Amino acid sequence: MKILVIGSGGREHALVWKLAQSPHVTRMWCAPGNAGIAQERLAKNGALVECVNIGAEDLPRLLIFAQEKKIDLTVVGPDNPLALGIVDLFQKNGLRIWGVNQKAAQFESSKVFSQKFMEKYGIPTARAGTFSDAGEAKTFAAGFGGKCAVKADGLALGKGVLICAGVTEANKAIDEILIGKAFGAAGAKIVIQEFLEGVEISLHAICDGKTAKLFPTSQDHKRALDGDLGLNTGGMGTYSPTPFLSVAELKTVGNAILNPWLRGCAAEGIDFRGILYPGIMLVKKGGAGSPLPAAIAQSGAHGVTRPAEIDARVLEFNARFGDPETQVYLTRLENDLVELLDASVSGTLGKIELKWKPQASVCVVMASGGYPGSYPKGKPIHGLAEAAQLPDAKVFHAGTALKENQIVTNGGRVLGVTALGKDLKAAQAAAYAAVQKIHFDGAHFRRDIAAKAFPELFCQP
């Protein structure tokens, strides 16, 4: 099979790496890819993956390329091409493509759509309202004493959510988005959710239009600095599984979300073939809106405990693989990814059983100095060969490029250093051992990825 992967980040490197292991793949391209992707070889014949210089949002050129190369399956990583309708375009032209169509992409591209859908079909979420009028929005937010999340409706590069602690802050956030147009047209409408306190985790489910198969849990680290301080980022690291839900609880929580969601999709004629990635807050049972007791707040330096009885509330839906969640999921996945994505496109997921390695996986993101603000590019990266010698680690590239035979930084998030271990502690130690081998000017990374899972172990490489 000839495969084309679209995107250039750590998620796409993980997708390429895993797809390349499939005996079905004879040739693979990635548009536009990165320096790490260009080093991957196919298990079948040793051929290198070829990067092509076409942007992930350049739909007309991607279509021509896929037609010329007679691609058997295109795999879409990022949300933007999905929201732009790449799946609809390729399908109209008789090409097989994995990812959600434009209608299904609304779960991510419109928070107003998602919130209304959750309410209509009884999916557990925060108490919320949707508004285009600032006055009405302020009255609603005041009902929560201003303790709320104000969310721009559309895609805003992950920056469209403002968390407010009181009425003054909430009013300012509402004005910024609805009147000041801080996020342009993406903020013509907003969702206001009550502020929920609890433990945040990520779920993923692969779907084929009628079946949804849940992945294990993972937990993202969105803030730039240790202890969840600093600015929001695309994600500074993640790990899987989390200790915050037992396998039985995950099943219960998954059913409570996915069953009504599937019913809603059927009722609304949404043919969702891709990944549904809900962001979840675990709150004290019956406690929506009521803050959790101090016990759930951070105990010790970094560890988090949770109450015995929890409810799960969906904060948002994404409609693609998470980044860096993909890096930890795909290092744990046993199945052939080509077969899995193919079943998602064909509507035959019911016949596939997801199999996961029992090991835990931890991904530590190494970022450019200054990220998530402005940062330099072109810094030489040293130590990649040494890190590659470590048996349990895999360094996924995100913002990297090849310049005069040297791999250099080329983005905010540069590398996703990922490792498996017999348990989370072992995986964390292995990931940080690999991080220690790698150097580039200005590199920064969090030292507490996965530390919430075990208060006694605050990693200090």
Residue 217 interacting with ligand AMP (CB under 6 A):
no
Query: 244 to each of 118, 191, 217, 419, 453, how far by Cα in Å?
Result: 23, 28, 9, 21, 8
* Closest CB to ligand AMP among residues 98, 215: 215
* Closest CB to ligand AMP among residues 90, 144: 144
| Least Cβ distance, residue 340 to ligand AMP (angstroms) | 26
For residue 310, the number of C-alpha atoms closer than 13 Å in the C-beta half-sphere is 26
**Residue in 40, 79, 108, 316 binding ligand AMP, rule: CB under 6 A:** 316
**Restricting to residues 16-35, which ones interact with ligand AMP according to CB under 6 A?**
none
Say how far apart CA 134 and CA 117 lie, in whole Å: 22
**Residue in 5, 82, 137, 196 binding ligand AMP, rule: CB under 6 A:** 196
Residue 192 interacting with ligand AMP (CB under 6 A):
no
* Closest CB to ligand AMP among residues 52, 163: 163
Q: Which x/- pattern, by CB under 6 A, does the window 273-312 give for ligand AMP?
A: ------x---------------------------------
- At residue 283, what are phi and psi to the nearest 5 degrees? -115, 165
| Least Cβ distance, residue 7 to ligand AMP (angstroms) | 19
* Closest CB to ligand AMP among residues 221, 379: 221
With contact defined as beta carbons under 8 Å apart, do 411 and 396 qualify? Answer: no
**Residue in 193, 331, 359, 418 binding ligand AMP, rule: CB under 6 A:** 193
| Least Cβ distance, residue 345 to ligand AMP (angstroms) | 27
| Least Cβ distance, residue 216 to ligand AMP (angstroms) | 19
DSSP 359: S
Both tokens of residue 168?
């003054």
Say how far apart CA 323 and CA 396 lie, in whole Å: 11
**Residue in 52, 163, 388, 426 binding ligand AMP, rule: CB under 6 A:** 163
**Restricting to residues 378-407, which ones interact with ligand AMP according to CB under 6 A?**
none
> How many residues in the shown chain lie near ligand AMP by CB under 6 A?
13
| Least Cβ distance, residue 308 to ligand AMP (angstroms) | 22
**Residue in 47, 134, 156, 161 binding ligand AMP, rule: CB under 6 A:** 161
Both tokens of residue 347?
């509507």
First-residue to last-residue Cα distance in the chain: 43
Of 45-53, 189-197, 354-362, 395-403, the window that binds ligand AMP (rule: CB under 6 A) is 189-197
Residue 118 interacting with ligand AMP (CB under 6 A):
no
For residue 379, the number of C-alpha atoms closer than 13 Å in the C-beta half-sphere is 22
* Closest CB to ligand AMP among residues 138, 151: 151
With contact defined as beta carbons under 8 Å apart, do 82 and 319 qualify? Answer: yes
* Closest CB to ligand AMP among residues 17, 239: 239
Of 195-203, 297-305, 323-331, 361-369, the window that binds ligand AMP (rule: CB under 6 A) is 195-203
Residue 361 interacting with ligand AMP (CB under 6 A):
no
Say how far apart CA 404 and CA 401 lie, in whole Å: 10
Residue 13 interacting with ligand AMP (CB under 6 A):
no
With contact defined as beta carbons under 8 Å apart, do 192 and 150 qualify? Answer: yes
Say how far apart CA 240 and CA 329 lie, in whole Å: 7
Say how far apart CA 164 and CA 149 lie, in whole Å: 6
**Cα 213–chain centre separation:** 17
- Select from 141, 173, 175, 144 the least CA-distant residue to 160: 173
- The residue sitting closest to ligand AMP, measured at its beta carbon, is 316
| Least Cβ distance, residue 286 to ligand AMP (angstroms) | 17
Say how far apart CA 377 and CA 60 lie, in whole Å: 29
Residue 445 interacting with ligand AMP (CB under 6 A):
no
Instruction: Write out the H or E segment, with its range, that includes residue 79.
Output: helix 79-84
Residue 125 interacting with ligand AMP (CB under 6 A):
no
Characterize 135-155 residue by residue with b for buried, 16 or more Cβ atoms within 10 angstroms of its Cβ, and e for exposed.
Answer: eebbebbeebebbbbbbbbbb
- Select from 81, 73, 61 the least CA-distant residue to 8: 81
* Closest CB to ligand AMP among residues 148, 341: 148
Chain positions contacting ligand AMP, by CB under 6 A: 126, 149, 151, 161, 163, 193, 195-196, 200, 222, 279, 315-316
